[in-house]
Structure 1
Amino acid sequence: MALLLLLVAIAAIAWGIGQAKAVKAAQGQLQEFSRRYKPAMDIDRHVRLGEERVQKLLDQEQQLRAEIESAKQGLTRINEELELASDAAFLVEVGYYEPRYDFEDLPSYEAELQRIREKQKAMLREDGTGDNRRAAAFATQSLSFNGSATQGRAAQKKTLKLILRAFNGESDSFVARVSYRNVEAMEKRIRSAFEAINAITQKYDFCELNPRYLELRLQELQLVYEWEEAKQKEKEEQARIREQMREEEKAVREAEKAQQQADKEEAKYQELLQKAEQEVQQASEKDKAKLNAKIEELQRRIAEVEDKKRAISQAMLTKTGHVYIISNVGSFGENVYKIGMTRRLEPMDRVKELGDASVPFPFDVHAMIRTSDAPALENALHKHFDIRRLNLENQRKEFFHVSIDEIRQELDALKDRLGIESELRLTLLADAKEYRMSQAKRKHLEASWQTSN
């Protein structure tokens, strides 16, 4: 038994020695393989490392490009805000504004403004969390805070309120300051505020302002502007009516004064006539001829006064008046005429008032047309030359850029249609005496100054 064990042990030792030699031989072969193929393995490793580095650089480049694009957009917004913030932005050449609403009366503007603001309130009352697109501002995704969805939702609500307060504050300021000079600039400012706020919130990709709410704020801006313009036009119309009423009151006072004067004249002539008729009964044949001539003269004067009184009464009861065509070359240049109307008994008083201290030179009268319906004639002329007005916004300014021949042609066309009985005589040339004398004197003074220097 012991011998058997000894033989097994010797066999195991021999096998172990063989295995050791085999392992040693394998290690030698592995070392030789490594020595021969190590450069190729290093190249693969370096290639792999290089590819990883290139991919990393490409990722960095893409990230930098995104940051550059974001920075460009931010710079553009800043430049726009700086431009809008400068006073010069509000004083640029005024462009034509096409009315969006153009209602006929102020209550219609007020009702539409109320409707738009009710829509805004409805959107503001909506809960914007949970991607509710009916809200003025909404969350685009759920947010967890401190591991709590409830706290995340509460944080989103606060953020939505914050951005709405910022946007509404900006918008309210722009709406309050809108005018004809800056309506387009204010519209751009509201859009810029909207984009700037959304650029910040969208960066974190969890909430944003609703474009529909932006449109409602822009509609409010446009409506407030048109409403203010409509109120201004109504004030101007009321001023025109008040001016017309003052003109009518002056005409009435003049007519009443003229009526009183005519009554006094008639009473005086009647008294003289009665006295002359009494004297003629007692006069000699020689004096009767002289007294009869006096009676005839008094009767003629009484008839004239009666005609004058009838004309005054007619003017007070009807629309009889004068349409005047006047110019002021020194103040407004050539081919600019004022076409107006007055119902005063002395129409030149109105022309003299227009040529007071508000203009540097007096007006020249080209026509003074008396007609039984002066407002109708004036309105017809204004309507025909409406597009030729110097001031297309204020209808009270009755100045037109036309030629005197065009006015004469239109008067001839209107004469039969409106039943104008008076003769239409127009003075073609404007005297403009003070203006022309001033021009001549100015040339003389300039020549004297150049000679002395």
Structure 2
Amino acid sequence: MVLLLLLAIAAIVWSISQLRSSKRAQAKLQRELELLEQRYKPIVDVDQEVDRAKERLSELMVQHGRIEAEIESAKRGLTRIHEELALANDAAFLVEIGYYEPRYDFEDLPSYEAELQRIREKQKAMLREDGTGDNRRAAAFATQSLSFNGSATQGRAAQKKTIKLILRAFNGESDSFIARVSYRNAEAMEKRIRSAFDAINAITQKYDFCELNPRYLDLRVQELQLVYEWEEAKQREKEEQAKVREQMRDEEKAAREAEKAQQQADKEESKYQELLQKAEQEVLIASEKDKAKLNSKIEELQQRIAEIEEKKRAISQAMLTKTGHVYIISNVGSFGENIYKIGMTRRLEPMDRVKELGDASVPFPFDVHAMIRTSDAPSLENALHKHFNQRRLNLENERKEFFRVSIDEIRQELDQLRNNLGIDSELRLTLLAEAKEYRMSEAKRKHLETSWNQ
């Protein structure tokens, strides 16, 4: 458009030079020139407005980019806040419950303590490092030099104070989470430590002068994991000690029962020995008619004495060896179908142990499916527990000897173990659980519900 304007003006100038002699023509051309200027002046103004609009659009695009970056940063901050709010809610802890994969597999508590000490020494070493000057060995470090009031020295001092401040904040948060870690929130507490690390770094990185070291974050997370597993190991050791104490109490009770039975057998043997001696003396002076009767009595007494001696030998053997009973019991009313307890007792009266288990802690008594006497009861019990280990109801506490199996599976495994372990008793298993009280209770409950509904 500007070019057309220039061409028009050039043509007019040329016409003026050709018609210079004619004032009328000159005046006419002058009016045409004015008309052309008025006609094309808006076009020139529009082009200028377009140029100014393009400049404004460029400025707006730059501003739009900045706003988009701020929106993305705000979104990340909002997401982090939502995560922190969720973690602060106890309900979120329950969502986090799941299988925790152990990172350490030490055999004893001193090993856990030594590893924890090693991790904390690494943390102390990083905290001792001067983080100014982009020292990446430090727990937190400056990412660039800082001048304050025109002084590099004052800027370095300000950086040190800032580094101490963010480390105190992060360590305070981490210590709080580590102190509260448990089986139900281990994963959540780890996320909280990482969230605190990200939140602090988001603030410091905005001003681009210092940040927390990711290596220090890893050490704090390792400390959290190790503290949790250490506490779990201590709990397992307590449970093992409790199991040993329970076994000792059972052994002591069995020993007292054996000693009492031994004394009772000695008393009975002494009694029958006296009766035998008396009968033997009487037979010497008895008539032929009475001798037959006395001889029959003597044979009966000798049989009783032999039975008592056999009983005493069995008691002595049980006291000196691992002879005992492995029992298979169920409680349908309390635990449901196909749930069996596989336990062991060395008591002379093994049913006493079953009756103890069916005390007030469960609503119904146990049904006995097998009571297996063997010369090595602990080995048989351990073999059964090992074979069905993955079928435990409680996979965390091995003191709870309940297994989700069928009675046929137990019978098949006992058949396999019989020869290997030298089980010296007949394997007789009751397949069905009577569960008398439970079934009668259910029948009565249905009857009462029917009566209420009528």
Deviations 1:42-83 (A, max 9, x none): 556544433332222122211211111111111111101100
Deviations 1:80-136 (A, max 9, x none): 110000111112262111111121111111111111111111111111111111111
Task: Report what 1:375 is aligned to.
Answer: 378
Which AA in structure 1 matches 2:422?
G
Matched, 1:146 2:146: no
Structure 1 residues 399 and 189: CA distance shift in structure 2, 3 A = same
Structure 2 counterpart of 1:195, from 198, 220, 238: 198
> Residues of 2 paired with 1:180 and 1:66: CA distance?
40
Task: Report what 2:227 is aligned to.
Answer: 224
Please list, as runs of the form range in 1=range in 2, the aligned pairs for 1:206-245 lying within 5 A after superposition: 206-245=209-248
Is the 8 Å Cα contact of residues 201 and 212 (structure 2) preserved in structure 1?
yes
Task: Report what 2:321 is aligned to.
Answer: 318
Structure 1 residues 93 and 47: CA distance shift in structure 2, 3 A = closer
Task: Report what 1:117 is aligned to.
Answer: 120
Which AA in structure 1 matches 2:359?
D
Which AA in structure 2 matches 1:190?
I
> Residues of 1 paired with 2:131 and 2:45: CA distance?
58
Task: Report what 2:17 is aligned to.
Answer: none
Structure 2 counterpart of 1:86, from 89, 93, 99: 89
Structure 2 counterpart of 1:175, from 175, 178, 184: 178
Q: Secondary structure at the match of 1:370?
A: strand
> Residues of 1 paired with 2:42 and 2:281: CA distance?
158
Matched, 1:419 2:422: yes
Displacement over 3 Å in runs of 4+: 35-49
Task: Report what 1:288 is aligned to.
Answer: 291
> Residues of 2 paired with 1:128 and 1:368: CA distance?
70
Structure 2 counterpart of 1:329, from 322, 329, 332: 332
Question: Does 285-294 or 261-270 show the bigger shift?
Answer: 285-294
Task: Report what 2:365 is aligned to.
Answer: 362
> Residues of 2 paired with 1:93 and 1:176: CA distance?
18
Where do 5+ consecutive residues of structure 1 fail to align? 1-31
Task: Report what 2:133 is aligned to.
Answer: 130
Deviations 1:168-225 (A, max 9, x none): 0000001111111111111111111011001111111111111111111111111111
Task: Report what 2:14 is aligned to.
Answer: none
Aligned length: 418
Structure 1 length normalisation: TM-score? Answer: 0.89
Q: Secondary structure at the match of 1:430?
A: coil
Is the 8 Å Cα contact of residues 116 and 226 (structure 2) preserved in structure 1?
yes
Question: Does 339-348 or 55-64 show the bigger shift?
Answer: 55-64
Q: Secondary structure at the match of 1:91?
A: helix
Q: Per-residue deviation at 1:41?
A: 6.8
Which AA in structure 2 matches 1:154?
A
Deviations 1:5-61 (A, max 9, x none): xxxxxxxxxxxxxxxxxxxxxxxxxxx9xx899877755654443333222212221
> Residues of 2 paired with 1:410 and 1:44: CA distance?
97
Which AA in structure 2 matches 1:70?
S
Is the 8 Å Cα contact of residues 323 and 377 (structure 2) preserved in structure 1?
yes
Q: Per-residue deviation at 1:329?
A: 0.7
Q: Secondary structure at the match of 1:429?
A: coil
Matched, 1:350 2:350: no
Where do 5+ consecutive residues of structure 2 fail to align? 1-33
Q: Per-residue deviation at 1:355?
A: 0.5
> Residues of 2 paired with 1:51 and 1:291: CA distance?
137
Q: Per-residue deviation at 1:285?
A: 2.9
Matched, 1:392 2:399: no
> Residues of 1 paired with 2:385 and 2:184: CA distance?
28
Task: Report what 2:25 is aligned to.
Answer: none
Is the 8 Å Cα contact of residues 330 and 339 (structure 2) preserved in structure 1?
yes
Structure 2 counterpart of 1:166, from 165, 169, 173: 169
Identity of aligned residues (%): 86
